[in-house]
Structure 1
Amino acid sequence: MKNYPAEMLNYHFWASQTILGRIKELPPAVLHQEVNSSYPTLAHALNHIYAVDKMWYLVLTGMEMGAALQECMPLSGRILETVDEYIQLFAELANQCKEWLGNGLDTEQVITLNNPYAGVRETSLAEIMLHAANHGSYHRGNVSTMLRQLGYASTMTDYALYWYRQPVSAAL
């Protein structure tokens, strides 16, 4: 039986690398060009996606959420200079997740999630994995809108497209 939460996480990393590949095709200055949107630049949006991905990865691998937030929040403010740096950063995290997923874990395992903003609840690893993929989709939508505001076409990253495509080289 297919592990759908793991498949959604694989899709998420593929989609992130796909949109990063599109940004790489554009003039380098686009990454830092200001736009009136959810984030001031594409780099800021990418930092947010990465920081949250990393935070959820740490939670999935056993770190308490408050500690994971403390470790990852500074990442949101760390602006990288080039798209290649983002491609590498996202690929490294995707590889860490791939290794973690390959350990035969039970995605239905329930953990106590103590979210400093929302409270304590019991949740499964699968639910967190689905949330991480959904969060990435939401913010890739922001990135697509920002690209259009900057005068460039985006690229498709729909889950249905993922079914028919081979992952880009840096994705899972």
Structure 2
Amino acid sequence: MTKKFFLELVNYNNWADNLTMEWLDQLNDKQWERPVASSFPSIKQTVVHMVSAKKIWIDFWTNAPDPIYLSAEFKGTKNELIEIWKKASVDIKSFIESYPEDDYKRSINIKYQRGGEAQMSFWQTLPHYVNHATYHRGQLVTLLRQANFTGFSNTDLATYFIHQK
């Protein structure tokens, strides 16, 4: 694993997240809040989870004493959530740019929201974070289709690489 590879993963994830944010900007409040049968009870709650996960990894990587799970406390609007998401995207890229490759094997402490702790090597956490985001973007496509949204574009990693040429 190299910094160049990790930055490419972060750039891909931010690119795909930006496309997703563009989709969400087009939703009305009824679509945003519509109850759904999925991992989370609405498009809104799915996105809150995604943004919370993006932010929490920064807390884990910086060994924040009290990691903040946004999903436990967010009460804002769709636009406020998207602004938090955009800032988290910038923060993750900045963090990865400055994180020393010599520390990629460093152990990262993870504190679960419902209690309990675990550890992973840093080099394992970033691919996990990107995979997790991809998983939930896939869920969003299904949820958005159920809400009659059809203005999608492809967010696959291959599509990202092809468009970067």
TM-score range, shorter chain: 0.7 to 0.9
| Kept in 2: contact 1:19–1:140 (CA 8 A) | yes
| Kept in 1: contact 2:60–2:108 (CA 8 A) | no
Task: Determine what percentage of the aligned residue pairs are the same residue.
Answer: 22
2:128 equivalent in structure 1: 131
1:102 equivalent in structure 2: 97
Question: When the two structures are superposed, what TM-score results if normalisation uses the length of structure 1?
Answer: 0.78
Structure-1 separation of matches of 2:143 and 2:87: 25
CA RMSD of aligned residues (A): 2.4
Structure-1 separation of matches of 2:110 and 2:3: 29
Q: Which one-letter code corresponds to 1:52 in the other structure? A: A
1:78 equivalent in structure 2: 74
Q: Is there any run of 5+ residues in structure 2 with no aligned partner, and where? A: none
Q: Which one-letter code corresponds to 1:109 in the other structure? A: K
Structure-2 separation of matches of 1:118 and 1:42: 28
Give per-residue Cα distances to partners, 1:95-129, cap 9 Å, x unaligned: 112221222522523215355567544x3322111
Q: Is there any run of 5+ residues in structure 1 with no aligned partner, and where? A: 167-172
Structure-2 separation of matches of 1:11 and 1:141: 15
Q: Which one-letter code corresponds to 1:156 in the other structure? A: N
2:8 equivalent in structure 1: 7
2:30 equivalent in structure 1: 29
2:153 equivalent in structure 1: 155
